[in-house]
Structure 1
Amino acid sequence: MIGVLIFPDFQLLDAAGPISVFEIAARFANNAPDIRVVAVTPGPVRSSSGVEMMARGLKPSGAITTLIVAGGEGSRGPAICPKTLAFVRSIARRGVRVASVCSGAYILAEAGLLDGRRATTHWQRTRHFLKAYPKVKLEPDQIFVRDGNIWSSAGITAGIDLSLAMIAEDYGDDIAQKTARQLVLYHRRSGGQSQFSSLLELKAPTGRFGPLLAWAREHLDAPLSVEDMAEQAGMSSRHFTRAFIAETGTTPSKAVERLRIEVARQRVQSSSEAIERVAETTGFRDPERMRRAFIRAFGQPPQSLRRAARAG
């Protein structure tokens, strides 16, 4: 049974997206599980849009084999109900697959399920999440992350990507592909959240480290080590790293890689410059290193992005 956990002020699509994926998959798989929406208080639960969804109570929970926790305004801080946390913990203790959509990661983190684990959430929540839950190994650019039996996904529609991955694991790629086609979706979306977010606002950086990032963008052919950046900022390396993470929500090295990737992408797509030359002048040095970075960020290598740009 697929359990979808909701609460007052949940984000409707966080719940409806995964429900639709498993509904469509049930048409193609003979042994698809039932879907049950659950909440602390059974009955109609009002979403942040005002639309209500009917839910059953949290007990009994023994039949649930996958629990998907929605996100929304009710998933953070004092709004998190202790009974909700207790329920999530009890499900996880049974070894059941537990997943969060968007800010539902706050519920998993508050329940202690993400301590020492890799996870993700909506890119806008990166800084706050890192500050609130420093034990979590947050990967802010991922569409979804799996660490053992704990899954987490990025903002809102990423719950659909996560659900398709679960369908593929449970019933195979063929069922997942059929489900994606029926929903008119990509089976596996390319790239990370940074395609859709203003991650660090690196194109027009603001804030305390804005001038530093602007300087780094103009010197991508240099090593740009943590020591180099700390010296430019007039700080010790240790203090600089801590302050940079607190300000931007990511490490200096990750920020530099994002700058390199973005500038390299622009040049790959808008010019006929040799891939090797782009890699050299943007600081990747090795074309293979740049290719791996592109695949992590965009789901495809530089040559594919260039072909797509020319075809467009």
Structure 2
Amino acid sequence: MASGPRIPMRNPTDKLRLSVGFILARRFTLCAFANFVDVLRLAADEGDRSRPIRCGWRVLSTTMEPITASSGITVQPEERLGDPSRFDYIVVVGGLIDEVANLHPDYVHFLHAAAEAGVPLVGVCTGAFILHRIGLMDGYRCCVSWFHHDDFLEQFDGLKPVSDQIFVVDRDRLTCSGGASSAHLAAFLVERHVGRAEATKSLHIMIIDEAERAETPQPGIPLDLRSGDPLVKKALILMQQNIDTPISIDEVARRLGVNRRQIERRFQARIGTSPTHAFKMIRLEHAEYLLRHSNRSITAIAIESGFCDSSHFIRAFRERSGQTPAAFRGLTGEATLPETG
């Protein structure tokens, strides 16, 4: 199946080059929504004055009642649903898994009308779940967060979501894993409709170094979440959540309600290594990501990756990759900073 983007293009002389309508699910993820909107806002005007000159965006609603995010903050809708074809894209921002099935029927009708009119649909965070549940992702590739990969499989038999990259563009369906990836997906749209300079400007003002390609790996993927063993998955996620302050395997076992020997057996059977070694690999993979994508010092990366000092980190990194962190950073083309400590 072809997966190249089929995206409408406006005439460059048009004043408003990109128009987006937002559907916010109940208990949506605020940061994913805010990141997407801010890229549009900063690209829409000179500087950061927020005038919607090049880009326009509206939060849509069927009731016009405030919509509550998962954080408890509310957003006031601006327009009723109306005709979806007045927008270039309709973006569905999801949030908590428990709310995926609770989309108002008016929104379902509106999204189906948008699809029939050829308006591309965008699923942000669990917005992809919502689009699948209402039958608008059949035959499309779909991006979801690695954290929700198994949740997706449980809800949608026979579908294989993409959980190892930050966003997916498949014809007139665009999906992303949420968080910072929503900024990169928005920048992708801005570059196509408004220009590369405007997309880059937006990201730089947001203190994001540069636009990431769709196939950029999602950060923090813990080894193999497809092992099929729920205990191994839970242990890996728990390790991922404690990278900077590593907890012992005994503590991992205690939190999961099993003993250390049970975890060790299951890790060996499912992924062929010990939980201690797996935890170390997760921390080193996190360090590798920081070396590729940040200018933090070697010492700062060591601390953020849960190593007691930079010497310990450098030794562990060399054992795994055959080179020092500084040498690795030089080969990947990132700015090299002095090793300290």
Measured against the shorter chain, the TM-score band is: 0.5 to 0.7
Deviation at residue 23 of structure 1 after TM alignment: 0.7
**CA RMSD of superposed structures (Å):** 3.8
Out of 107, 116, 131, the position equivalent to 1:84 is 107
Please give the alpha-carbon distance, in whole angstroms, between the structure 2 residues aligned to 1:164 and 1:33. 12
Which residue number in structure 2 is paired with residue 303 of structure 1? 331
Q: Does 1:16 align with 2:34?
A: yes
Q: Report how many residues are paired.
A: 249
Preserved CA contact (<8 Å) 2:100 2:130: no
Q: Which letter does structure 2 place at the counterpart of 1:14?
A: A
Preserved CA contact (<8 Å) 2:29 2:96: yes
Which residue number in structure 2 is paired with residue 215 of structure 1? 272
Q: Which letter does structure 2 place at the counterpart of 1:43?
A: E
Equivalences for residues 149-188 of structure 1 within 5 A: 149-188=172-211
Preserved CA contact (<8 Å) 1:7 1:39: no
Please give the alpha-carbon distance, in whole angstroms, between the structure 1 residues aligned to 2:32 and 2:286. 33
Please give the alpha-carbon distance, in whole angstroms, between the structure 2 residues aligned to 1:24 and 1:107. 28
Please give the alpha-carbon distance, in whole angstroms, between the structure 1 residues aligned to 2:101 and 2:52. 42
Please give the alpha-carbon distance, in whole angstroms, between the structure 1 residues aligned to 2:270 and 2:286. 13
Please give the alpha-carbon distance, in whole angstroms, between the structure 2 residues aligned to 1:211 and 1:310. 38
Unaligned 5+ runs, structure 2? 1-18, 226-235, 240-248, 253-262, 276-280, 289-312
SS of the residue 2:76 aligns to? strand
Deviation at residue 50 of structure 1 after TM alignment: 2.1
Please give the alpha-carbon distance, in whole angstroms, between the structure 2 residues aligned to 1:65 and 1:173. 18
| Identical counterparts, % of pairs | 22
Please give the alpha-carbon distance, in whole angstroms, between the structure 1 residues aligned to 2:270 and 2:94. 32
Please give the alpha-carbon distance, in whole angstroms, between the structure 1 residues aligned to 2:127 and 2:138. 15
Task: Give the TM-score normalised by structure 2.
Answer: 0.61
Change (3 A) 1:164 1:270: same
Q: Does 1:3 align with 2:21?
A: yes
Deviation at residue 167 of structure 1 after TM alignment: 0.8
Preserved CA contact (<8 Å) 1:143 1:192: yes
Change (3 A) 1:178 1:80: same
Unaligned 5+ runs, structure 1? 219-257, 279-299
Report which stretch shifted further, 164-173 or 69-78.
Answer: 69-78
Deviation at residue 310 of structure 1 after TM alignment: 6.5
SS of the residue 1:128 aligns to? helix
Instruction: Tell me which protein shows more helix as a share of its residues.
Output: 1
Which residue number in structure 1 is paired with residue 295 of structure 2? none
Which residue number in structure 1 is paired with residue 318 of structure 2? 271
SS of the residue 1:87 aligns to? helix
Deviation at residue 164 of structure 1 after TM alignment: 0.9
Q: Does 1:50 align with 2:72?
A: yes
Q: Does 1:33 align with 2:55?
A: yes
SS of the residue 2:63 aligns to? coil
Deviations 1:173-231 (A, max 9, x none): 222111111222132248422x324353298895995223452689xxxxxxxxxxxxx
Please give the alpha-carbon distance, in whole angstroms, between the structure 1 residues aligned to 2:316 and 2:139. 38
Please give the alpha-carbon distance, in whole angstroms, between the structure 2 residues aligned to 1:208 and 1:76. 36
Please give the alpha-carbon distance, in whole angstroms, between the structure 2 residues aligned to 1:307 and 1:23. 30
Please give the alpha-carbon distance, in whole angstroms, between the structure 2 residues aligned to 1:125 and 1:93. 29
Deviation at residue 63 of structure 1 after TM alignment: 0.7
Change (3 A) 1:169 1:214: same
Preserved CA contact (<8 Å) 1:4 1:70: yes
Q: Give the ranges of 4+ consecutive aligned residues of structure 1 lying more than 6 Å apart after TM superposition.
A: 202-205, 266-269
Preserved CA contact (<8 Å) 1:269 1:306: no
Change (3 A) 1:123 1:40: farther
Q: Does 1:71 align with 2:94?
A: yes
Which residue number in structure 2 is paired with residue 103 of structure 1? 126
Please give the alpha-carbon distance, in whole angstroms, between the structure 2 residues aligned to 1:207 and 1:133. 31
Deviation at residue 73 of structure 1 after TM alignment: 2.3
Change (3 A) 1:216 1:117: farther
